A and B are shown apart, each in its own frame.
Chain A
Amino acid sequence: MTLARTPSQTVGPFFGIALPWPDGPYVVPDGTPGAIWIRGRVLDGRGDPVPDAVVETWHADPDGRFDHPDDPRGPAPGSRGFGRSPTAADGSYAILTLKPGPVPGPGGSTQAPHVDVSVFARGLLNRVVTRIYFPEDRAERAADPVLAGVTDPEARATLVAERTDDGYRFDIRLQGDRETVFFDI
């Protein structure tokens, strides 16, 4: 017997009373050695900032492991792995974390270091899901089984962050020019 799934609805414009946590953007505490800021903006189809979105991130620890019982190598305790940042008036979000390591993929493959991202916003009836990859991992990205499914090079480029002084920049374009690749999960 299977049950029918509950459908999604938009997060709406007023999630700010509930979803932002003071420590939401801090996957690791401020001052953690080696921590990086992943910063970016969420933009709409006109190139305007989306000031009422919430960006959530989920990724492996620097060893490529998860603090989760379904990691076949056993849970890696102490790694929260989860970040949550509402966007500001200029559409910007920011997450402080440690860069993930490579993660095992299907068929004995290795996934390049990546961050799974969900974006919720007014006007999004369901979350959009994308992935952040890192610019320095050129060889790892070439062998990544998920990126292999994104055949258009311009589209693939939307999944790669840019290096900045304190970490990386990753803009999310919901629609139109240089539209970010989104995934059906």
Chain B
Amino acid sequence: MAGYRRDDAPVDPPYRYPDYVSTRFRAPSRPPIVLPHTLTEVTGPLLGEGRVGELDHDLTRQHANEPQGQRIVVHGRVLDADERPVPRTLVEVWQANAGGRYAHDGDRHPAPLDPNFTGLGRCLTDDWGSYRFITIRPGAYPWSNHDNAWRPAHIHFSLFGRSFTQRLVTQMYFPADPLFAQDPIFNSIPDASARERLVSRFDLSETVPDRALAFRFDIVLRGRDATPMEEP
């Protein structure tokens, strides 16, 4: 059995990123210690069956009426770095409504709440690692990080993969957002091509005529190491 491959160059953001003010007192000050991958790290929760309701994948059908906003399909594949699909894995998403407001008590942005939109979705990937949500395009919203700060429109994604090492929480963005340049969360990713991997593509082939636009967002989790870890 093999462990999971480590990155050759940084892919994830650093913990401390001064432009994102909330990192100031939360980023660890000491460098993390390398943890060899043992059985605990190459295994992980295989959740899903029983955690996903019939309408959890369709954020436009969870209330009495349809939410305000532009209907979109968000779909893609979950693969590992060796191009192997990650089947039957739980994908959780959450997002703001079309006006840029979360259905969360802590969100003080004075944009209207939408009684027909919670902004929570769940699904399992199929046998080929594919997932598909129907939702509305979230709005951008202001936040207090710096003067006149706005988050680019985004959808939060949470994935488990098949091991503790593959766990990933990230955000999907929309193409050519003019707010990217001033967003410290997006720009905390050191490599420009890695940032681009968080930007979905408009996907004409998956649009639903007379109904919904479509965006594709493929997600790549860590791959297996070529060198087997020592057998217990």
A residues within 8 Å of B by Cβ? 1-19, 21, 44-46, 48, 50, 52, 56, 58-60, 66-68, 70-72, 80-82, 103-108, 111, 114, 116, 118, 120-129, 131, 145-146, 149-150, 155, 174-176, 179-185
Contacts and interface: CB of A to CB of B under 8 A. Distances in A.
A182 B35 CA distance: 9
Given A7-B12, A105-B38, A118 B167 contact: yes
A18 B103 CA distance: 10
A7 B40 contact: no
B210 to A, nearest CB: 30
A18 B38 contact: no
A66 B197 CA distance: 33
B34 to A, nearest CB: 5
A13 B81 contact: no
A128 B106 CA distance: 23
Given A11-B169, A121-B26, A129-B35, A58 B94 contact: no
Contact of B156 (A12, A80, A116, A123): A12
Contacts of A182: 28, 30, 32-33
Q: Which one of A116, A121, A155 has the greatest number of beta carbons of chain B within 10 Å?
A: A116
Interface of B: 1, 7, 11-15, 17, 20, 22-47, 51, 79-83, 92-94, 96, 102-104, 106-107, 118-122, 156, 158, 162-165, 167-171, 185-186, 188-189, 193-195, 197-198, 219-223, 229-232
B40 A70 contact: no
B85 to A, nearest CB: 11
A150 B12 CA distance: 24
B45 A81 contact: yes
B102 A184 contact: no
Contact of B40 (A15, A59, A80, A124): A59
